[in-house]
């Protein structure tokens, strides 16, 4: 097996930089969504304009490069299922951002790593050792500290939606891993938009309305920034392994806190600062453990020297 460092695209520092940029851009997307919602724009309309620009931009990109063949697929059914889960996940993710402080919504999203371990153990029957179970316990303790359902400091509906979004992220990750075996990453992004836009368009006669110029700019920003975030995430994985770059995802907590303070003049409640380190620590522990197990599996697969 070819060592990771010998991979023709292996550029770890570039990968880290791209993933850091992606975390910033995705935090900016949630800030745009929250601003649009505060201006009275319906969530379904925000999602419609978030998805729509992706189709012409990616189509034009591949057409100009003479690579429309990249968009060909034999897995329409898999893309449809991924789009269905993706729509639900996006609605929950954006909904949580409108109901909670940005830093809180972002941190609860990080619990997707915890749900991924639970799904692997309960559905895929993968062996789960003491390290990952300890991370799950630590992560859920952090979630309870952040939400504090007994205090009424945060809306429980918002916290529940944010945790639902994290669960959807874990489920979608399994689908993406399967689609990624045969599909180009941008093909997956393209078909997600292609199949979700018609569904969202059904709601537009009900929720769509005329907007002021600054509101149109916000909606356009949601679409362009969202696509940019997906491109940066994909590019980071082209130049580095998931286990090496995922640590940069947690910088999103810094950006979300800054956006919440600078744009919305709000900071998360005091309980957040006790729970967030536990959730982030759980995610990092799971990522580290997955990295170690991956190294062990590769070592077993490599041919032994005579």
Domain layout of the chain by residue ranges: 4-301
Residues 131, 285 contacting (CB under 8 angstroms) = yes
**What's the whole-model pTM score?**
0.80
Mean pLDDT estimate for the chain: 81
Q: Residue with structure tokens 């952040």?
A: 146
Q: Identify the weakest region by mean pLDDT among 61-65, 68-72, 96-100, 121-125.
A: 121-125
- Residues 200 and 224: their CA atoms lie apart, in Å, by 18
Predicted confidence (pLDDT) per residue in 27-82, tens digit: 999 999 999 999 999 999 999 999 999 999 999 989 998 888 888 888 899 899 98
Band (174; pLDDT cuts 50, 70, 90): confident
**Which DSSP string corresponds to 185-212?**
HHHHHHHHHHHHHHHHHTTHHHH-----
Band (183; pLDDT cuts 50, 70, 90): confident
- Residues 115 and 170: their CA atoms lie apart, in Å, by 6
Tell how far CA 197 is from the center of its chain. Answer: 19
pLDDT at 262 over 50: yes
- The larger pLDDT score, comparing residue 120 to residue 40, is at 40
CA dihedral in degrees (266, 267, 268, 272; nearest 10)?
180
Return the pLDDT at 10: 60
Return the pLDDT at 301: 64
Q: State the average pLDDT over residues 97-106.
A: 88
pLDDT at 240 over 70: no
Band (125; pLDDT cuts 50, 70, 90): low
- Residues 220 and 231: their CA atoms lie apart, in Å, by 17
Predicted confidence (pLDDT) per residue in 13-30, tens digit: 787 788 888 889 989 999
Residues 158, 99 contacting (CB under 8 angstroms) = yes
Q: State the average pLDDT over residues 161-165.
A: 89
Helical ranges in the chain per DSSP H: 12-38, 43-51, 54-64, 76-99, 102-109, 112-122, 130-147, 156-179, 185-201, 204-207, 213-239, 242-245, 252-262, 272-301
- Residues 283 and 114: their CA atoms lie apart, in Å, by 7
Residues 75, 192 contacting (CB under 8 angstroms) = no
Q: State the average pLDDT over residues 101-122.
A: 78
pLDDT at 270 over 80: no
- The larger pLDDT score, comparing residue 218 to residue 245, is at 218
Q: State the average pLDDT over residues 105-131.
A: 73
- Residues 198 and 77: their CA atoms lie apart, in Å, by 16
Band (103; pLDDT cuts 50, 70, 90): confident
Band (191; pLDDT cuts 50, 70, 90): very high
- Residues 135 and 207: their CA atoms lie apart, in Å, by 42
- The larger pLDDT score, comparing residue 101 to residue 271, is at 101
Q: State the average pLDDT over residues 133-156.
A: 73
pLDDT at 108 over 90: no
């Amino acid at each position: 097996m070819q060592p990771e460092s010998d991979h023709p695209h292996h550029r770890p520092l570039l990968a880290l930089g791209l993933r850091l940029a992606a975390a910033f851009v995705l935090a900016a997307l949630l800030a745009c969504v929250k601003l649009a919602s505060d201006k009275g724009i319906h969530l379904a309309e925000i999602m419609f304009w978030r998805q729509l620009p992706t189709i012409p931009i990616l189509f034009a990109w591949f057409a100009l490069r003479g690579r429309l063949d990249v968009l060909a697929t034999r897995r329409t059914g898999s893309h449809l299922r991924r789009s269905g889960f993706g729509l639900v996940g996006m609605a929950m993710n954006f909904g949580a951002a409108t109901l909670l402080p940005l830093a809180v919504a972002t941190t609860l999203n990080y619990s997707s790593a915890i749900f991924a371990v639970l799904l692997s153990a309960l559905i895929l029957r993968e062996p789960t050792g003491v390290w990952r179970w300890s991370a799950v316990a630590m992560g859920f303790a952090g979630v309870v500290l952040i939400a504090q359902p007994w205090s009424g400091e945060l809306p429980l509906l918002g916290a529940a939606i944010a945790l639902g979004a994290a669960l959807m992220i874990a489920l979608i990750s399994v689908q993406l891993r399967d689609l990624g075996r045969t599909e180009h990453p941008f093909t997956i992004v393209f078909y997600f938009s292609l199949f979700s836009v018609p569904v969202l368009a059904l709601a537009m006669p009900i929720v769509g309305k005329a907007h002021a110029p600054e509101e149109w700019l916000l909606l356009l920003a949601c679409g362009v920034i969202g696509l940019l975030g997906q491109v940066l995430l994909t590019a980071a994985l082209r130049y580095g392994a998931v286990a090496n770059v995922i640590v940069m995802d947690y910088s999103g907590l810094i950006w979300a806190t800054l956006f919440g303070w600078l744009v919305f003049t709000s900071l998360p409640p005091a309980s957040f600062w006790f729970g967030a380190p536990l959730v982030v620590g759980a995610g990092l522990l799971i990522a580290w453990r997955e990295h170690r197990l991956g190294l062990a599996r590769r070592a077993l697969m490599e041919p032994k020297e005579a």
